[in-house]
Amino acid sequence: MTQRPSILVARAIFPEVIERLREHFDVETNHTDAPFTPQQLAERLQGKVAVLTTGSERIGAELLAACPQLKVVANIAVGYNNFDVPAMTAAGVLATNTPDVLTETTADFGFALLMATARRVTESEHFLRAGLWSKWALHMFAGAEVHGSTLGILGMGRIGQGIARRGAHGFGMQVIYHNRSRLDAASEAACQARYVSKAELLKQADHLVLVLPYSAESHHAIGAAELAQMKPTATLINIARGGIVDDAALAVALRERRIAAAGLDVFEGEPQVHPDLLTVPNVVLTPHIASATITTRKAMANLAADNVIAFLTQGQPLTPLNPEVLPKVLNA
């Protein structure tokens, strides 16, 4: 009897997805869900041909050199800044992610965070829970208008376009965006979005939503200089990645009311959060949950599993990030 390939699932996922993987492979799991240190990960990967990862697991040249049997790393996330893709390609290791299945859910959350931030939902709830509400008042927690305002989007991929559609069609917002490349006319028309320079975006947006991938290029794309160009009444929403915003500079801008408020789902160095952000009232903070519905998280885990199954059983991954390695891995 030929031995079944061994794979690792680096974090706790849904039991039914593990069962699907067990139909094909010997599967080692991490029931505790404690993220592995790089050394633990390298140890667990000995003899494994595949691993399902999340953003907590870094896959770089050193780890790849220590795990020569590894053939495929399937991220349970659309973002893959935890992968050194060129190093994976050089090592002949396939990388996959989970696009599409989380687009609408994440766009929903972007809008939820925008609404909560603009309308001061959590700040007013904390006030109420603290027993501070003694009377109705005209000015109490008066926030910023959402409908009819100008929605700015930095990074206009699938999720950005989902947020644009919600803003334009649901809330009658004027949508402006900036992106590395401009959308084609049909895509712009579908979400009624107008392309502007980054400087115009910062200047005109009443609500600025960040949905761009993290890279060396986008590191601190929003820092003190950019915050200074925004309206003092503006809100800033980050559902992209920590590190795109300079969190220390943002905390200063919020404290000094240089912008009105921010909603953040992602942080530099998460799960640590810059201590100054924890003490300013005009920020809504959530723990990286933009794609977190049961349906979508199951779809993400299933797509990662499908990538590993389809690649290892038929040589055809569904959503490869570096398809150029396929001939090399398949002929190895």
| Residue (108 or 123) nearer to ligand DGY, CB | 108
Stretch that binds ligand DGY, among 14-22, 75-83, 168-176, 309-317 (CB under 6 A): 75-83
**Are the beta carbons of 96 and 72 closer than 8 angstroms?**
yes
* Bond prior to 271 in cis (omega within 30° of 0): yes
Nearer to ligand DGY, 99 or 152 (CB): 99
Nearer to ligand DGY, 81 or 149 (CB): 81
Site string for ligand DGY, 285-314 (x = CB under 6 A): ------x-----------------------
> Looking at beta carbons, which residue is closest to ligand DGY?
79
Tell me phi and psi for residue 121, to 5 degrees: -65, -50
Structure tokens, 24? 């094909």
Options 78, 193, 249, 309; binder of ligand DGY; rule CB under 6 A: 78
State which residue, 55 or 243, has the beta carbon closest to ligand DGY.
55
- Whether 154 and 201 have beta carbons less than 8 Å apart is answered as yes
Verify binding: residue 102, ligand DGY, rule CB under 6 A. yes
Stretch that binds ligand DGY, among 18-26, 39-47, 76-84, 198-206 (CB under 6 A): 76-84
Report CA-CA distances (Å) from 331 to 126, 246, 322: 59, 45, 16
Cα–Cα distance for residue pair 37/3, rounded to 1 Å: 29
Question: Smallest distance, Å, CB 11 to ligand DGY?
Answer: 11
Distance in angstroms (rounded) separating the CA atoms of residues 151 and 208: 6
Residue 241 appears among annotated catalytic residues: yes
Cβ 162 vs Cβ 152: under 8 Å? no
Helix, strand counts (H, E) of the chain:
14, 12
Stretch that binds ligand DGY, among 60-68, 74-82, 179-187, 224-232 (CB under 6 A): 74-82
The b-or-e profile of 281-300 (16+ CB within 10 A means b, else e) is ebbbebebebbbeeebbebb
Q: Which of 17, 77, 144, 153 binds ligand DGY (CB under 6 A)?
A: 77
Q: Is 288 a catalytic residue?
A: yes
Within positions 48 to 67, which residues make up the interface with ligand DGY, using CB under 6 A? Answer: 55
Of positions 35, 79, 223, 323, contacts ligand DGY by CB under 6 A: 79
Site membership for ligand DGY, residue 113 (CB under 6 A): no
Least spacing, CB of residue 125 vs ligand DGY, in Å: 25
Active-site residue flag, 270: yes
b/e string for 233-258 if b means 16 or more Cβ within 10 A?
A: ebbbbbbbbbbbbbbbbbbebbeeeb
Gap between the Cα atoms of 298 and 19, Å rounded: 13
Q: Which of 120, 241, 274, 297 is catalytic?
A: 241
**Which residues of this protein are in contact with ligand DGY, per CB under 6 A?**
55, 77-79, 102, 291
Catalytic residues: 241, 270, 288
